[in-house]
Amino acid sequence: MKNAKNNLKNYFSNVPKTVFVVMLLLTCITVTIFNMKKTISVVVDGKSMEVTTLKSNVTHILKTYDIVLGPKDQITVSLDSKVKDGDKIYIKKAVDVKVTVDGKELNIQTAEDTVEDMLNAEKIVLNDEDKITPLKSESLKSGLQVQITRVNTEILQEIKAIDFATEFKNSDELDKGVKKVIQKGKIGEKVITSAVVYENGKEVSRNLVSEKLKSEPVKEIIALGTVGVYTPSRGGEIRYTKTLRVRATAYTADYSCTGKGPDDPYLGITSTGKRAKRNPNGYSTVAVDPRVIPLGTKMWIDGYGYAIAEDVGGAIKGNKIDLYFSSSNEMWNWGSRNVNIYILK
């Protein structure tokens, strides 16, 4: 009985100690939980939500609240970092952007702020002359289409031919209708320097930078024959430079024609000091108007033959000539008639 009393006494004396220990333990647990509890802000694309959690690991917190990160989404903290009460986590979701460049269409997911930031992140390099739409400062949004035009300028040199001129000269050394090259033409050259602009490999403009003569062209000279060819009825060929239609009157060196007797030393002497002659096998004497046919001119006269202008006459004006014959019979046989004469080359 005595032992039972002692045991009971000991039991009740130990109860306060146990309760104290339990209460102390609960208090510690509560304090620990309270210290672990934290409220943080998660801001997704500018929209903020408050999260109260006992977890510290960012990955676990996001998973708990079903916040999924894509491969190109951006977050301001490391996924394995620890958070503390009052922290803010910023998340920017990637958008879909189409970029056309270098003949390709690239579908890009990006969370960058501007077109320029996106190009830098994707390592798409723009050269100084390249064009881009929209502007590099344009803010990104889903569905944005970016067009990049590759522009490059090349300085090109080319040799351009310079055509030669052709000059025609009349020649009394050639028959009419005959052509002869007396100086061969030569094409010249010049160096053309141009700035050629290409867009995506296609030429869009060409501007002249300089033009420099490399070699002068040499003109071609062609002789054109002016000598006519006449075939008289008795055969042969007569080469002439001019034809005239004239009135041809016969004369001889008798008194009736010249007013000089047979003893006159000047009988038969022409105005040029030469004696008039009729030479069927050579040149016979004719009188002309020197204003039309200069003295010394050689010619062919139809029906008469070769002749040379060696005399003048007071009655010979314009297209008139007198033909010398050595006898009165020949003179009367010819009389006066219209004939063609051919001025010889």
User: For the purposes of burial, counting CB atoms within 10 Å of the CB of 246, is it exposed (0-12), middle (13-18) or buried (19 or more)?
Assistant: buried
CATH number of domain containing 82? 3.10.20.90
Residue 242 lies in a domain: yes
Q: Which residues pair with 336 in a beta bridge?
A: 249
Q: Please report the pLDDT score of residue 213 as a whole number.
A: 94
Same domain flag for 250 and 329: yes
Residues 43-79 pLDDT 10s: 988 888 888 888 878 888 888 888 888 888 889 888 8
**Residues in the chain where the model's pLDDT stays below 50:** 28-34
Residue 128 lies in a domain: yes
Q: Please report the pLDDT score of residue 227 as a whole number.
A: 86
Which string of DSSP letters, residue by residue, matches 289-342? -TTTS-TT-EEEETTTEEEEEEE--TT--SSEEEEE-SSHHHHHHH-EEEEEEE
Q: Please report the pLDDT score of residue 256 as a whole number.
A: 61
Residues 127-140 pLDDT 10s: 999 999 999 999 99
Say how far apart CA 98 and CA 143 lie, in whole Å. 7
Of the residues 224, 253, 286, which one is the last residue of a structural domain?
A: 224
Q: How many domains does the chain have?
A: 4
Q: Please report the pLDDT score of residue 32 as a whole number.
A: 44
Three-class secondary structure of residue 68 per DSSP = coil
Same domain flag for 339 and 236: yes
Residue 104 lies in a domain: yes
The distance between the two most distant Cα atoms of the chain, rounded to a whole number of Å, is 219
Domain that holds residue 331: 231-344
pTM: 0.53
CATH number of domain containing 140? 3.10.20
Strand 298-301 versus strand 47-53 pairing type: unpaired
Of the residues 49, 76, 92, which one is the last residue of a structural domain?
A: 92
CATH number of domain containing 186? 2.20.230.10
Strand 188-199 versus strand 202-215 pairing type: antiparallel
Q: Please report the pLDDT score of residue 232 as a whole number.
A: 85
Residue 19 lies in a domain: no
Q: Please report the pLDDT score of residue 289 as a whole number.
A: 96
